Each structure stands twice: as C-alpha cells, then as structure tokens.
Copies of this chain bind each other. A is one copy, B any other.
Amino acid sequence: MRYFPAALERLTEQFAKLPGIGGKTAQRLAFHLLSMPEEDAREFADAIIDAKKSVHLCPCCQNLTDRELCPICDDESRDHGLICVVADPKDVIAMERAREFTGVYHVLHGVISPLNHIGPDDICIRELLARVGKGGVREVIMATNPDTEGEATAMYISRLLRPMEVRVTRLAYGIPVGSQLEYADEVTLLRALEGRRDI
C-alpha cells in the first residue's frame, strides 16, 4: 500500500538518485521541499533547468561555462602557450586558488579507468591533442591526481604528446606544506627525497 502521495514518492526517488543520498535522506529532503514556500520550490526547479540549459563545455578547454568561451580561455593576459591538464572542473578552482598559475587549462572530465570501463576515448583527450596540434603550445603540465589512475592517464597522454614537440611536465611530488613528516607515507617521502633541490 502506498502511504505517501505519488508526487512525493517521485520526488523522493529523484533525490535518491543523487550520489551519496540514501533513502532516508532523500525522504527528508523531499519533505523539506514540500515544507518550503511554493516560490522557493519553484526557484529550486528553475535553477536545475537553468543550469542544465545555460551551462556547456568551453569549446577550447572543456571547462564548464555559460559563455561562448570560458573566462580563462577568453583572458588575453593569460599565457595560452602553457596548458595545465586536470581531470575535473573542481581541480581548476584548486589551481586558481594557488594564484600562481598564469597559463590556461584543459579539463579531461575523468581519468582512464579500465575497471570503471572508462577508456581514452571517454575523456577529453582528443580535444587536447587537437588543441596542441594547432601549434602555439610550449608546455603541457599534467596535473591529474597523484593516484594510480591519474598517473596512468598522465603517462598515456604524455606519450601521445611526445611526437608533437611540446614540453610535457608533471606536478612535483613531495610532502605537503604545513604537514608533519612523521605522518607522511613512505612513497611520498621517497618522491620528496628524489625531487630534493638545492637551497
């Protein structure tokens, strides 16, 4: 027997489809939406439609944008000969927060992950190759996550870029600033040792 109105059940199901939202939470969220003023609920619905309609990928760097070109690709003051390759739009923000990088980005939208059936053609590698192929690019910095899949993706892409006469680099490994040596894992310490520099 159905205890709740069908429309409420449907809304609960929609919430339950979202990542990290279980049945109980979905129900709580659906109830909360019902208790909101009609205007606020409509605003929520409009925000979904609007985001879906107006946000698309930047044709140059594949980052999310609502303009023709994203603000970073459109910025003449940035170094368009230096491309930082990241897996996710959120990584662009992390890099920008460092306020040091003056080049442009390329967002892959994922990493190669055979276990999850994600191959090289499922992420935006083709677009990166086309971009570098057009010329004018001096250096490509691979800034995928320092885990197995991020590493493998960086290696794969660097191999494809090598014949294109472009410098391919990787973010340095080492101990994070502000952390404690005591808690650093062996691999990170090893990499930090390997990458040591004169002071």
Interface residues of A (CB under 8 A from B): 1-8, 10-11, 13-14, 17-21, 25, 27-34, 36, 38, 40-55, 64-67, 71, 89-90, 92-93, 96
Contacts of A18 in B (CB 8 A): 29, 32-33
A93 touches B48 (CB 8 A): no
> 23 A–B contact pairs at CB < 8 A?
A4-B64, A5-B67, A7-B54, A7-B55, A8-B55, A8-B66, A10-B47, A11-B48, A11-B50, A13-B47, A14-B48, A19-B28, A19-B32, A20-B25, A21-B29, A33-B48, A33-B51, A33-B52, A34-B64, A36-B52, A41-B48, A42-B48, A42-B49
Partner of A41 from B27, B36, B42, B49 at Cβ < 8 Å:
B49
Contacts of A46 in B (CB 8 A): 45
In the complex, what residue of chain B is closest to A55 when comparing beta carbons? Answer: B5
Q: How far is the CB of A21 from chain B (nearest CB, A)?
A: 8
> Could you list 4 further interchain pairs (A-B, Cβ under 8 angstroms) beyond the known A7-B54, A45-B45?
A10-B47, A18-B32, A31-B90, A34-B51
Contacts of A2 in B (CB 8 A): 71
Q: How far is the CB of A20 from chain B (nearest CB, A)?
A: 7
Question: Which of A27, A32, A52, A64 neighbours the largest number of chain B CB atoms within 10 Å of its CB?
Answer: A52
